């Protein structure tokens, strides 16, 4: 699977651990994030990642910032992107099962790197249930 990963300065150390995890599972990872811990503006890194998810150049995305909020808000400006801010395993599973989330937003300042790794595993292994959820997901994108 082709997976995009992006981050701001708060998510740099997490990103490197997640890249190792993803590559160990045979995934191809495209790095959109900063490799430094100096302060940066997250939209500069998140917009290109979200565009590639929107254009289906990658299968899924993972974004990491301090709270996860700014990165998620930025990604969700793109049509066809359904970025979900998750801070526990159940939210990750539901984001995939019910909302067909294609980007996982991780709040680095509120979860451990081990929790983040578990989130990524759940995100990759959980399938969209479709059914009654499909109609709702189809109504998310705007037609403007």
Catalytic residues: 65, 98
Residue 9 is classified by DSSP as: G
First CA to last CA distance, the chain: 31
Q: Three-state SS for 101?
A: coil
Tokens in use for 52? 């590639």
Q: Which of 53, 83, 54, 88 is nearest to 69 (CA)?
A: 83
């Amino acid at each position: 699977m082709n997976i995009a990963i992006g981050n701001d300065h708060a998510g740099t150390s997490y990103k490197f651990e997640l890249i190792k995890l993803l590559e160990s599972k045979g995934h191809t990872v495209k790095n959109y994030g900063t490799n430094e811990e100096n302060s940066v503006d997250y939209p500069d890194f998140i917009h290109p990642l979200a565009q590639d998810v929107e254009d289906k150049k990658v299968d899924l995305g993972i974004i990491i910032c301090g709270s996860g909020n700014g990165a998620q808000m930025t990604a969700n400006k793109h049509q066809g992107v359904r970025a979900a801010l998750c801070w526990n395993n159940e939210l990750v599973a539901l984001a995939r099962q019910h909302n067909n989330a294609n980007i996982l937003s991780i709040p680095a300042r509120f979860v451990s790197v081990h929790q983040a790794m578990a989130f990524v595993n759940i995100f990759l292994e959980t399938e969209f249930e479709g059914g009654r959820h499909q109609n709702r997901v189809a109504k998310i994108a705007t037609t403007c």
